[in-house]
Amino acid sequence: MQRCDLIVIGAGPAGLSAAVEAARQGMRVTVYDENARPGGQLFKQIHKFFGSREHKAKIRGIRIGEELLQEASAAGVQVELDAVVTGIFADKEVTVRQGERMLRRKADTLIIATGASENMTSFENWTLPGVIGAGAAQTMMNLHGVRPGEKILMLGSGNVGLVVGFQLLQAGCQVVAVADALPGIGGYGVHAAKLARCGVPFYTAHTIVRAEGVERVTGAVIGAIDQNWHIVPDSEKHFDVDTICLAVGLSPMSRLCGLAGCVMEDNPQKAGLVPVVDALGETSVPGIFAAGDVSGIEEASSAMIEGRIAGLAAAHRMGFMASSALDARLAELTGALASLRAGMFAPGSKGKVFTHTAEGCALSASLLRRGFVADEEIDRYPGVTRARGVHPVLECTQNIPCNPCADACPRQCITVGADGGTITALPVFDAARGCTGCGLCVAACSGQAIFLVDEEAGEITLPYEFLPLPQKGEQGMALGRDGQPVCPAEVVAVRTSAAFDKTNLLTIRVPAEYAGRARFYRKER
């Protein structure tokens, strides 16, 4: 039977990170993954990540995946693909089905990083072709270049629903609506705002009643729900769609942990049945660790840190790493993890109702319900200021862990959490430092919530990630935060640069009185 020092199950962000750290300490590491390609979901995540520089913020998931694969290869990690771990037995022996063969393998330590699976929800006709998971949509359009449909209803407004909804627009699909049974949008407001300004309507406190169609989806009906989760009579609304996308949460895929004899708990804050782990990710079975979504649903950024911690802990456990060296790395990694787990959307904030930001600004009711900050609400946020000449308007209205804007500005105009504050603070612009209008902050903002505005000239520079790219001199329509036409606009500049990483900067000119409202552009119909 083949042996190695560490077997990692799952080659996603957590598993690969764990493998890299352990291998760098000298362990012989083998990673098994059931898929034909490593990287888990990273290669479908074409958006820029949140967090701070240490979390690889403002880098797209696909690039982070490429970096991880390079790190794994440089560290000598062996990755076995099309390899399903089917069992875990005493003394860390595992069985692996690879192709038509069953293999037996053994290691001194195991790290289970099997990730999560998508939840589904059932409704009338939900089995019709055309009802798909949001993950399926991402796989089709971002990996294989095939549009999942032409007209799509997105069910679920958590970050998955919002991010995939935007990606559907980027792929050239029409998103007719985002519906969510909860009374408020579940994901980041900035993600919702990107959709809203493209004209996608949100229906909160609505759920799907039925899919229509005989052989495939031809429509969808949603309805408002009351406090008892019943459909409000006469509230039904029909959409012509060919695809219904379900983004109704993820559940940890923790069955292997149970099979390995780990003590499990059903923990709603972690979104399901998870192994009980300590601060290093070690389960109740000594030498078996769990990292990433399998031990609680979070973002890929935190999964990667959990993976690194588990990898180092495994190396330390087997004597590949001194305690002092481990402690030094842990101090850095646990700090990075803590900063990601702060703010209004942190795992520990689940179930809490926020009315104000940490700065004391009232949260936008419109953002929560309709996906955009209303014009009369926007001025209450510290990043939204008026100044002479061109300057950034930071439409960041919730405490989320993110600060690439501060990092991007060459003149340090933008501050996030000054004086040792947290990266969940709202960004602030300091006009005294003199904005040059370089646009790096606009392109760096993972939430696409920064605009360069020159109120007197009526010029707005906005992030634009669609094709075809508008041309300079083109006449079109400026849209508001709600996606509705505001006024005619002329494209006066289109900037692309390697430094912007595919986020193009579009500068439009509108009558000066609309400079505070125009936030998107479309070619006039």
Partner 1 sequence: MRINEHPVLGGYPKGEAVAFTFDGARLSGYAGEPVAMALKAAGVFIHRYTRKNHSPRGIFCAIGRCTDCVMIVNGRPNVRTCITPLAADMDVRTQYGMGAKHAAL
For binding to partner 1 (CB under 8 A), which residues are involved?
A: 34-36, 46, 60, 62, 117-118, 127-133, 135-136, 139-142, 144-148, 170-172, 215-216, 465-467, 469, 502
Q: CB-wise, 117 or 349, nearer to partner 1?
A: 117
For every residue of 166-192, DSSP letters joined together read HHHHHTT-EEEEEEESSSS--S-HHHH
The answer to whether 181 and 174 are in contact (CB under 8 A) is no
Q: How far is the CB of 449 from partner 1 (least distance, A)?
A: 18
How far CA 488 is from CA of 252, 265, 331, 477, in Å, comes to 49, 57, 54, 4
Tell the smallest beta-carbon distance from residue 169 to partner 1 (Å): 10
Q: Estimate the crossing angle of helix 13-24 against helix 300-317, to 10 degrees.
A: 30
> Of 455 and 465, which has the nearer Cβ to partner 1?
465
CB of 185 to partner 1, least distance (A): 24
Which lies closer to partner 1 via its Cβ, residue 171 or residue 205?
A: 171
Q: Which of 472/502 has CB closer to partner 1?
A: 502
DSSP per residue, 396-450: --S--SB-HHHHH-TT--EEESTTT--TTSPEEE-GGG------HHHHH-TT--E
The rounded distance, in Å, linking the Cα atoms of 305 and 55 is 8
Buried/exposed code over 398-412 (b: 16+ C-beta within 10 A; e: otherwise): bbbbbbbbbbbbeee
Cα distance between residue 301 and residue 313, in whole Å: 19
Distance of alpha carbon 467 from the chain centroid: 22
* Phi, psi angles (nearest 5°) of residue 83: -125, 105
**How many whole angstroms separate alpha carbon 232 and alpha carbon 250?**
28
Nearer to partner 1, 128 or 259 (CB): 128
Q: How far is the CB of 186 from partner 1 (least distance, A)?
A: 21
Q: Give me the least distance between CB of 494 and partner 1, in Å please.
A: 13
Of 82 and 327, nearer to partner 1 (C-beta) is: 82
- Residue 303 phi/psi, 5-degree rounding, is -60, -40
Q: Which is nearer to partner 1, 82 or 456 (CB)?
A: 82
Question: Smallest gap, in angstroms, from Cβ of residue 195 to partner 1?
Answer: 15
Of residues 145 and 360, the one with the C-beta less far from partner 1: 145
Shortest Å, Cβ 382 to partner 1: 31
Whole-angstrom distance, CA of residue 1 vs CA of residue 105: 6
Q: What's the min distance (Å) between Cβ of 468 and partner 1?
A: 9
Spatial contact of 430 and 406, defined as CB atoms under 8 Å apart: no
Any bridge partners for residue 8, and if so which?
31, 111
Kindly tell me which of 4 and 62 has the beta carbon lying closer to partner 1.
Answer: 62
The minimum distance between CB 81 and partner 1, in angstroms, equals 12
Collapsed DSSP state (helix, strand, coil) of residue 237: strand
